[in-house]
Structure 1
Amino acid sequence: MWKFKPFAQKEPAGLEGRYLEIGSLKVQVRNVIAEGGFSSVYLAQDTTHPSKQYALKHMICNDEESLELVMKEISVLKSLKGHPNVVTLYAHGILDMGRGKKEALLAMEFCGKSLVEVLESRGGGAGYFEEKQVLASFRDVCNAVFAMHCQYPRIAHRDLKAENLLLSSDGQWKLCDFGSVSTNHKVFERAEEMGIEEDNIRKHTTPGYRAPEMWDLFRREVISEKVDIWALGCLLFRICYFKNAFDGESKLQILNGNYRIPESPKYSTSVTDLIKDMLQGSPDERPDITQIWFRVNELLPVNLQKSLPDQPPEMGSSKSASNSSPAPRRSPPPSSGEPASSGGLLGAFWATQHAKTSVVTEDNKGMPIFDEPNSHNSHHSNKPSPAATNNRSRVSKDDAFNSFIADFDTAKLDNGNKPAKEVALEAEVERLKEELKRTKSEKAEITAKFEKLSVICRSQRQELQDLKQTLASKTVTSSPSRDSPGMRSTSSTPSRDKGNNNSNNESVRSKSKTASLAPAPASQGFEPWGFETESFRAASQSSGSASTTAQRSVSFGSSSQRLGNTKMRENQKAAQPAGWAGF
């Protein structure tokens, strides 16, 4: 059963009794089996197959950060799917609740008990565990951690604790709750980065299992998967002695490594030395998960030992050479009672360059579970007898080690060759850099062309403004001609034009009458009436054209050429005799 340390108030879910469809699964939610600050876990029953039960994890994501954590947990569960010591993810779904909220549902393998419940039931009178029970259970946890640390990039769980270990129906321990995983392994230098990381550590880790480098970031030590090794030391201490290594969860107590191995129950020095090695203050001094797994496996009886750590089905030997990180990273210590130079068990593992393909599988049916009766001689029965180290067992284990070294491709690790995936990624990065460079040059060329066109457009706009101003000034200077005496009749109102015409007609009559009384000279060629036919016609045409031109000049006053023609014709009209003015 999951138990989460509460960090914030959880929103009520109310899923009990509801029927839900999660992927291809149709389940009915029963009751709550665990609650925490960020999630709740329900018991769900398959509606199609009522005998199947699931642990339904329900989370409400109020922001992008919480949704990212959920997606990371789903990704890790998918990558570890099929591992015997990791809870199985059967289906998942992300539902949109509106207003930026999302609802995550994860249907996982249901396990009846947690390590905390088992420890509490044993502490009630059943007594402490035998050493082989402790080591068999602890090896299950190391199996799961080994699979995480061998991923590329390496995955750190960062919240290994008794509450996150579940006992399945087949007697194996399974790791759960991967919402705190991280692949960001680095030394945090800047104050902003430290503040963000401290907030993440406070939210997603448990103080009693927190490594010293996570308590004090100013130590400038890399925070990596080695924080899980520290947590494994705290976990092994609790499995052995039913209490935490650091009582009170004191920061100074953890930073100083202030803990004490109890005198009772009595375990072998190999177990206590393993705890001390995992609880080293500096992460570089702690063993890696490979060393721990083989040390624990060697301490078990021969019939309970395994050949290799368990891996997910998709992590075969062909993938591990290219996709796994360089693990194991350091040589394990020599086996107890056997010098490292003798070419024995561990020496063959690290020295062999040409591995064989034979892998010996061990029968795990003899694995003890925690509910077995306790034995009085538990700490003496764990030492392997000399008869167990016969030639047949040694050869089979050497073959297993050889196969294991083939999985990690030690030859490649020694000569420093990069994995094929890393080489492909570097080539892709170089290609993207070249493409970015070409894009930047094209951008610069387009920008230069745009600037040139902008300059041309500005100059043309300026020319248009100058032309408009010139035309406006010419129009203003030509406007007084409209008010000249000869043009007033065309620009005035009809009533005024009518009056002016009447006055002009009277003056014309008087002048023509005077002209008719006076004798005309014969040299001018006038008729007795005083009018000459061709002159009369020319006068009428010029007069009509003059008036028409005046009207056009009023209508289209913007043309200086027409105004000039009008002025010229007015001058011609003024030069004619007064008698022509009426026509």
Structure 2
Amino acid sequence: MNTAGLAILIRMGNCLCAKKTIKVNGRQYYIREQLGEGGFSTVNLVEDSSSHKLYALKHITCHAQSDQKVALAEVEYHKALSHPNIVECIDSDLVGMPDLMGNRTSQVLIVLPYCQRGTLHDELMRRQRAGSHLDEVVVLSMFRQICEAVLCMHSAKPHPLAHRDIKTSNILLKDDLTPLLMDLGSVAKARLEISSSSEARKLQDEAAERSSMPYRPPELFNVESHCHIDERTDVWSLGCLLYALCFFKSPFDAVYERGDSVALAVVSGSFKFPEPHPFSQDLQELIESILKVNPDERPYVDWIINKVDQLINKSSGAV
């Protein structure tokens, strides 16, 4: 064997020996590559060492008990919310204990399905580059499934839950375009009675940390000291997502990208439909009916699903 061939074999051997592994509940996975990163969490593509199936492994680093509590709540929400359009938690594990004084952290590991197609954001960016809109019936079908996932959360017992960060990058897509709502780290009780300025500031700070600006509802930008918050925070985000399904981005993404005030644009409810476009007046009116600045004027998700069904039937020619 020549020197070059030997060098290649040595490099291959080094790669195999150095392959990083991680264990979740005693099950070993090879780490293939990083898929995403944000805040205190990373998502890696991993391979089960026994079955060789691919998964996405979410790795949350917890610096304090409060961080760990939030991360473990995400696991519990996965267990409580079983739905075909909510991503499944395949396994989970807690490693270590956080200790600020001792500069120690814990790790919450969550094994999730791997979707090769990526997120809805990825799909829409590919389509934007190609100038290829989704067909209106496909838009309505995908949106309906996402609404069904959200309805599952809003119907949760003993109290309704809100996702609070619905956006295109939190929707995974299966190969057949079936959407899966993911990232339950922002989930919280949907209905809150805010009765003081300190409670209002706390909710506003949480929203600033967990809810992406171009999809955040007006009432979470400037939380009043005496107000009622309910699941229609998610309905605003769904309106932004429906707009993105049609036009590739949230109606407030351009404001964000320009560096202008997203809060001002959202609170004023100011957005436009790009022209020309292939979508019906009915679909535009549905978006407008959802994106109401006053949450009391917004519909609930079951009304939206019924409306979408009517539009699908109309588009397919059904009576």
Q: Same fold (TM over 0.5)?
A: yes
Question: Residue 111 of structure 2: which of 97, 107, 118 is its match?
Answer: 107
Equivalent residue, structure 1, for 2:9: none
Equivalent residue, structure 2, for 1:180: 186
Tell me how far apart the structure 2 counterparts of residues 123 and 63 of structure 1 sit (CA, whole Å).
41
| TM-score computed with the length of structure 1 as normaliser | 0.48
Equivalent residue, structure 2, for 1:236: 242
Question: Residue 167 of structure 1: which of 145, 162, 173 is its match?
Answer: 173
Identical aligned pairs, as a percentage? Answer: 31
Equivalent residue, structure 1, for 2:139: 134
Tell me how far apart the structure 2 counterparts of residues 189 and 70 of structure 1 sit (CA, whole Å).
27
Tell me if structure 1 keeps the 8 A contact 2:197–2:225: no
The one-letter code sitting in structure 1 at the alignment partner of 2:141 is: A
TM-superposed deviation, 1:115? 1.0
Equivalent residue, structure 2, for 1:93: 93
Equivalent residue, structure 2, for 1:202: 208
1:261 aligns with 2:273: yes
SS where residue 187 of structure 1 aligns?
Answer: strand
Tell me how far apart the structure 2 counterparts of residues 21 and 251 of structure 1 sit (CA, whole Å).
43
Equivalent residue, structure 2, for 1:383: 315
TM-superposed deviation, 1:184? 5.3
Deviation digits for residues 503-534 of structure 1 (CA, Å, limit 9, x no counterpart):
xxxxxxxxxxxxxxxxxxxxxxxxxxxxxxxx
Bigger share in helix: 1
Structure 1 segments unaligned to the other structure (5+ residues): 1-15, 302-381, 390-583
Query: Cα gap change, 1:233/1:193 in structure 2, threshold over 3 Å: closer, same or farther?
Result: same
TM-superposed deviation, 1:172? 0.8
Tell me if structure 2 keeps the 8 A contact 1:59–1:105: yes
Tell me if structure 2 keeps the 8 A contact 1:57–1:105: yes
| TM-score computed with the length of structure 2 as normaliser | 0.86
Question: Residue 223 of structure 2: which of 217, 222, 227 is its match?
Answer: 217
Equivalent residue, structure 2, for 1:78: 79
TM-superposed deviation, 1:220? 4.0
Tell me if structure 1 keeps the 8 A contact 2:235–2:299: yes
Aligned residue pairs total 290
Query: Cα gap change, 1:184/1:280 in structure 2, threshold over 3 Å: closer, same or farther?
Result: closer
The CA RMSD over aligned residues, in Å, is 1.8
Tell me how far apart the structure 2 counterparts of residues 25 and 162 of structure 1 sit (CA, whole Å).
32
TM-superposed deviation, 1:180? 0.4
Higher relative contact order (CA 8 A, sep 6+): 2
Tell me how far apart the structure 2 counterparts of residues 42 and 118 of structure 1 sit (CA, whole Å).
20
Q: Which has the larger radius of gyration?
A: 1
SS where residue 123 of structure 1 aligns?
Answer: helix
Tell me if structure 2 keeps the 8 A contact 1:166–1:173: yes
SS where residue 184 of structure 2 aligns?
Answer: coil
Tell me if structure 1 keeps the 8 A contact 2:46–2:56: yes
Equivalent residue, structure 2, for 1:62: 63
Equivalent residue, structure 2, for 1:496: none
Deviation digits for residues 164-205 of structure 1 (CA, Å, limit 9, x no counterpart):
011113431111100001105223231221222222111111
Equivalent residue, structure 1, for 2:255: 248
Tell me if structure 1 keeps the 8 A contact 2:32–2:46: yes
Equivalent residue, structure 2, for 1:566: none
Tell me if structure 1 keeps the 8 A contact 2:204–2:222: no
Structure 2 segments unaligned to the other structure (5+ residues): 1-17, 257-261
Query: Cα gap change, 1:252/1:122 in structure 2, threshold over 3 Å: closer, same or farther?
Result: same
Deviation digits for residues 450-506 of structure 1 (CA, Å, limit 9, x no counterpart):
xxxxxxxxxxxxxxxxxxxxxxxxxxxxxxxxxxxxxxxxxxxxxxxxxxxxxxxxx
Query: Cα gap change, 1:192/1:98 in structure 2, threshold over 3 Å: closer, same or farther?
Result: closer
The one-letter code sitting in structure 2 at the alignment partner of 1:147 is: C
Equivalent residue, structure 1, for 2:121: 116
Tell me if structure 1 keeps the 8 A contact 2:98–2:105: yes
Tell me how far apart the structure 2 counterparts of residues 68 and 40 of structure 1 sit (CA, whole Å).
18
TM-superposed deviation, 1:126? 4.5
SS where residue 217 of structure 1 aligns?
Answer: coil
Matches within 5 A, 1:493-532: none
TM-superposed deviation, 1:45? 0.5
Tell me if structure 1 keeps the 8 A contact 2:121–2:168: yes
1:34 aligns with 2:36: yes
Tell me how far apart the structure 1 counterparts of residues 165 and 196 of structure 2 sit (CA, whole Å).
25
Deviation digits for residues 238-269 of structure 1 (CA, Å, limit 9, x no counterpart):
11112321231421111111111223213222
Tell me how far apart the structure 2 counterparts of residues 161 and 183 of structure 1 sit (CA, whole Å).
19
SS where residue 222 of structure 1 aligns?
Answer: strand
The one-letter code sitting in structure 2 at the alignment partner of 1:229 is: V
